[in-house]
Structure 1
């Protein structure tokens, strides 16, 4: 791969924190179905469960009676409160869930080898038997330790075992080492984690008693938008909350991170008071976040306007405070964080409190975010790459004009692209949605030979051709797949980068009917046919003194060159009313609307330089390039122009040029 399209590195510290948090959460996430099953069985069949309470109402039984006074048959047996049967609830939380986590952790540490999972499960069982509390934290220690240590032990005699003895050695080494780790887990890990859980529970009780638990949102909400949401929820709150739920029947910890209220309130504010693409995409994002439970969908909105963190922090704190007032919580994790999952895991006694916590947190988040968005009067940053990306985002798709001006922003491949992976932290929510959008675009472009799948970053391998990630996760993805092309996005639903990926596939997969039209060399674009930029379309002393006059001057050159009909100039003014075409670094590129494509006769570019910069919406425009793009022929030249205007020396040469030929020489002098 020749190059990558990535955001700048955002620091190694966060990447390491994300990796550690993701490692913890990835032991829980594959087994979340088991947690949900346990939660549903608990919600339905324990003594205070939904079926039990309904039965009491139907048979006129008063809640709270001794279970021996009446018998619900299989219901009481399943719940384990009939005094005879052990039921399902206890064994699942005590044995099944911790062992599953330990197995997953061990398998992860042994490069997805089942052997590591088996030893991790054996080691976890020792910790489970050695403690009186659910061993989730113990499983997160003993499981990975079992897989990692087994991997190191196997490496000692790798390739040294005589043929025919491999199975004997492998089975007995795993059994013996698993036994040793189980003993260690029983006497050490179990006791250590029991004390730790007790201490953590005391901390939570202290925060609750002192009414300080809402302050947790000050740390949780910012960490979520840095894609540490799964690490916090499933790596920290799920183990602690499950322990508390076993003792008390519910836990407020399950709703500190998973409450969908703050996110839906923020998105509602963007839907009503946002701008551009953010406003247009917020309603769809709200549905996905609130009903689908994919909280990652609102993270880019916060990153777009970091001050809105205040809104989600206050919303989250409101939700926690509400649950404290009503003494409400969930029986098991709400995964994903959907309102449906929240209601399913809410005990009958907590249903009102949990519902109010969602409503009130959404209301507070909405009100604060609305004030912030209505008061926002910020202008675009005067930076070429940033302004170009912002322009594309406002349009909601990649532009053949502005997309080429993202100097170095488009990846280049030296071989065919056959497999694309959309990767996110967990590989479930945001990546599944992004992969679906990108897959449809790839298929619509006629590339049935290309596969598009979603994965967790931790599961990436260096055998993939192209990886798409959120810009905050790209650094981690590059560590897992350094040979791939990496494309960063900042919006899962309508990123213009998706169109760039499609164009990249069009260019690289030049086989059969899908082969793109060969791009003309730069020299032909300048000196031969078609004359995209001819000397007659270059003016070194523009006469316009304002933006509209400059658009008129650049448009007139396109008309005189025979590139467009006169009506195209009016479309250039229309485009400017909706989206500014000022790119930064003294450059503006006025062009027509999509509806004006019919007025383009052939691709053309005009070049006007002003001795005194023109006021372009408060920005100084020294160079104005009129653009009329009939196809893709002009993209190569635009790429060269982008490189010129990010190079101070080249800009200085254009400023000092005394003839059209000197301008062409500067543009021609930049090589890919």
Structure 2
């Protein structure tokens, strides 16, 4: 029998450039504050600044010695080191950042000029290579020698990278910077620089500008600013004039939703600096790109004629940021370039709008959805254009968990809660098994604390009381609130979404790789479960992303489950008759094991008052708050059965599982418990068990 296979969607060159540009932007944007600080110091204190100060501006002499000042050291050392550290940290957290910064120092000293391109090479290279080196002896270091090995390996490899940067990378980057600078000067001297708008303006709409702006223009602009006190390059992409002119044209000559939303969009774009808000208007009528190109060329030509520029990058591209970074002698030229760029863009766009067919109201929503597909995630300003939310999924998801735009297959799902391990770990295990059974074993299902969430997930599952906390940091994701972590009907919806996006949906889009895009076309909602809220024990966030089906953590014994769930911690008939008494009873078993102190039991009650830990299927898993991790001595689980049931906030509970966890040690038994309680036959066996050994056997063998 022939086996039908589904080809994976090919990733377009545009997407690769987008991802590359996004990575470069990720190194630059977190450090924009440092660029602004350097720009302010430069504008104020250099010899041609507003308030020249030799000791700060780095000119003249004091006591017969040349003044070093702040301007030179900041641009030569501080900013490249920040970029190198950020690039390394993006690849391999703080350890990668430190090694990346060490390697960057080699490039800086070797070149003797601002080394932003070198920093953008050495930072990620340092993080990536350190990660590969650590993987060689991962899990092989004898206890007690971890710090020694980690510190010396980072130091030795960092020293070698610094030498590589000094002797190998710096000459190459210096040659590239010189060649690129000469090319820019050629364009300027021959009046050709305005032609760059032919590439820059379409690149902005396609979200390809980051690679150009942060990879070339910003580094060259900073070097030019250091030498000349200003640079025209900072305004090639950031000028708000072309976008303003286009939106004003829509304000006067547009129709429907486009006309109604254009004035507000113009304010956001011009004052707030969020240029992407005008991209859907261009996508509605691609011919309008000629308006922004004409405006951009006009603005650049004006800057060139008036010899005007900025002292540092303007980010975001707001008129306020532009004026704040304008060189002292360039205010007339910069303001004139913005005004003329807006005027020309307005005139050309108006002619196009008046002489071509108008779009109807629905086109703006479609264009916004296409814009978000190209971006690879939901736009933070799209709701202004389409009302409640952008994209075709807006109507379907109205009033529910959240809105996402399908920009690629669903590959990354997270269960989020306060601490990131208890009920969320069990829920993740249940959903993972369902997705594997549906034939998608490569879809990653993890659990994490809300504090550790980032906007990299396709689907986020939370308790309804926590959804609003999760949304701001995961705005691109589809949000699901479930009413039962054991057998929620929402799981079937998520499985359907995974199936759809990884077959028809995946083939229809060329969005970024898994994790960058967001699912769409399905709604997310539902009554929320109390379980997700609590989700989590109080071991802290450092292990928040560990998969719950993984083997017990290193260092646990071969029978790790037995270590965590011991026979003396299993009670066949509990004595409590109320919720609070049951929490006390479960907590006392943990205390008797030496796993927690008295403060942890109080924290279990505190968590229950915040959000219920009822899981569904007659199960509750009380545990402490995230702040109570200091009260945990070791990982342990207690199990108490209440044959007659207990009223748990209006739900009947027959099994109470107390949890205290450190690192990943308790995940194996939680996964076992989750699998048991999703199987009615297994739950019936638990209810009928006559000895602790039967319960231990059931939990211990279910993962075999």
Does the aligned pair in 1 maintain the 2:84–2:123 contact within 8 Å? yes
2:329 aligned with 1:349, yes or no? Answer: yes
Residues 237 and 217 of structure 1: is their aligned pair in 2 closer, same or farther, counting only changes over 3 Å? same
Does the aligned pair in 2 maintain the 1:233–1:258 contact within 8 Å? no
Deviations 1:385-439, CA, capped at 9 Å, x for gaps: 979999x999856899995799xx999x9x99979xxxxxxxxxxxxxxx9xxxx
Q: Aligned residue for 1:487?
A: 520
Deviations 1:491-548, CA, capped at 9 Å, x for gaps: xxxxxxxxxx8xx344x33569xxxxxxxxxxxxxxxxxxxxxxxxxxxxxxxxxxxx
Residues 169 and 416 of structure 1: is their aligned pair in 2 closer, same or farther, counting only changes over 3 Å? closer
Does the aligned pair in 1 maintain the 2:107–2:170 contact within 8 Å? yes
Does the aligned pair in 2 maintain the 1:418–1:449 contact within 8 Å? no
Does the aligned pair in 2 maintain the 1:293–1:336 contact within 8 Å? yes
Q: 1:193: Cα distance to partner?
A: 1.1
Residues 302 and 324 of structure 1: is their aligned pair in 2 closer, same or farther, counting only changes over 3 Å? same
* Mapped partners of 1:243, 1:332: distance in 2: 10
Deviations 1:603-640, CA, capped at 9 Å, x for gaps: xxxxxxxxxxxxxxxxxxxxxxxxxxxxxxxxxxxxxx
2:77 aligned with 1:95, yes or no? Answer: yes
Q: 1:448: Cα distance to partner?
A: 6.1
Does the aligned pair in 1 maintain the 2:261–2:384 contact within 8 Å? no
Residues 172 and 216 of structure 1: is their aligned pair in 2 closer, same or farther, counting only changes over 3 Å? same
Deviations 1:32-80, CA, capped at 9 Å, x for gaps: 110011001101111111224xxxxxxxxxxxxxxxxxxxxxx332112
Q: Aligned residue for 2:470?
A: 451
Listed as ranges, the matches of 1:290-369 within 5 Å are 290-369=270-349
* Mapped partners of 2:513, 2:221: distance in 1: 34
Listed as ranges, the matches of 1:606-645 within 5 Å are none
* Mapped partners of 2:257, 2:233: distance in 1: 35
Q: TM-score, normalised by structure 2?
A: 0.55
Residues 87 and 176 of structure 1: is their aligned pair in 2 closer, same or farther, counting only changes over 3 Å? same
Listed as ranges, the matches of 1:95-494 within 5 Å are 95-110=77-92, 113-378=93-358, 396=387, 403=395, 451-454=470-473, 476=511, 479-480=514-515, 486-487=519-520
Residues 377 and 87 of structure 1: is their aligned pair in 2 closer, same or farther, counting only changes over 3 Å? same
Alignment: residue pair count: 429
Residues 124 and 349 of structure 1: is their aligned pair in 2 closer, same or farther, counting only changes over 3 Å? same
Residues 79 and 379 of structure 1: is their aligned pair in 2 closer, same or farther, counting only changes over 3 Å? closer
Does the aligned pair in 1 maintain the 2:281–2:367 contact within 8 Å? no
Deviations 1:302-343, CA, capped at 9 Å, x for gaps: 111111000000100111110110111111101111111111
Residues 393 and 78 of structure 1: is their aligned pair in 2 closer, same or farther, counting only changes over 3 Å? closer
Residues 418 and 90 of structure 1: is their aligned pair in 2 closer, same or farther, counting only changes over 3 Å? same
Does the aligned pair in 1 maintain the 2:17–2:211 contact within 8 Å? no
Does the aligned pair in 1 maintain the 2:240–2:269 contact within 8 Å? yes
* Mapped partners of 2:296, 2:392: distance in 1: 42
* Mapped partners of 1:135, 1:103: distance in 2: 13
Q: Aligned residue for 1:24?
A: 24
Secondary structure of 1:487's counterpart equals coil
Q: Aligned residue for 1:561?
A: none
Does the aligned pair in 1 maintain the 2:261–2:385 contact within 8 Å? no
Q: 1:446: Cα distance to partner?
A: 9.2
Residues 386 and 51 of structure 1: is their aligned pair in 2 closer, same or farther, counting only changes over 3 Å? closer
Two-structure CA RMSD over aligned residues (Å): 4.2
* Mapped partners of 1:175, 1:395: distance in 2: 52
Does the aligned pair in 1 maintain the 2:256–2:360 contact within 8 Å? no
Does the aligned pair in 2 maintain the 1:102–1:117 contact within 8 Å? yes
* Mapped partners of 1:145, 1:234: distance in 2: 18
Q: Bigger relative contact order, structure 1 or 2, given CA contacts below 8 A and separation 6+?
A: 1
* Mapped partners of 1:270, 1:176: distance in 2: 60
* Mapped partners of 1:175, 1:400: distance in 2: 51
Q: Aligned residue for 2:61?
A: 83
Secondary structure of 1:107's counterpart equals helix
Residues 478 and 281 of structure 1: is their aligned pair in 2 closer, same or farther, counting only changes over 3 Å? farther
Does the aligned pair in 1 maintain the 2:269–2:275 contact within 8 Å? yes
Q: 1:450: Cα distance to partner?
A: 5.6
* Mapped partners of 2:56, 2:136: distance in 1: 48
Q: Aligned residue for 2:48?
A: 48
* Mapped partners of 1:453, 1:374: distance in 2: 40
